Amino acid sequence: MINKYNDKRKLTTFFEVLGSITAMAYALLIASNTGNEILGFSLLLISSLLFALWAIIDRRWTFLALQGFYAFSAIIGLIRW
């Protein structure tokens, strides 16, 4: 039982850390206004997918809905740029 919990915790930590890093990179790229919008919105999409996996594992359904919104926003950004 403890091993299963540790495996779950390692996965959620991985998704949390990598999702946070990609979200910060997205924010910096968009705020810098340097023409890297496609890369920025791609990072937003990746970040929202990582956070969505974390939400599914932890059964955080409201957080999962928020990540759906962020993924949708990223797709709009990719289309418009």
SS3 at position 34: coil
Domain count, the chain: 1
Residue with tokens 């999702």: 19
The per-residue pLDDT for 6 is 85
Q: Which domain holds residue 37?
A: 2-80
Q: Per-residue confidence at 1, pLDDT binned at 50, 70, 90?
A: low
Contact predicate 76/37, CB 8 Å = no
pLDDT tens-digit map of 22-74: 999 999 999 999 999 999 999 999 999 999 999 999 999 999 999 999 999 99
Q: Per-residue confidence at 2, pLDDT binned at 50, 70, 90?
A: low
Residues sharing a CB contact under 8 Å with residue 26, sequence separation 6 or more, in sequence order: 40, 41, 43, 44, 47
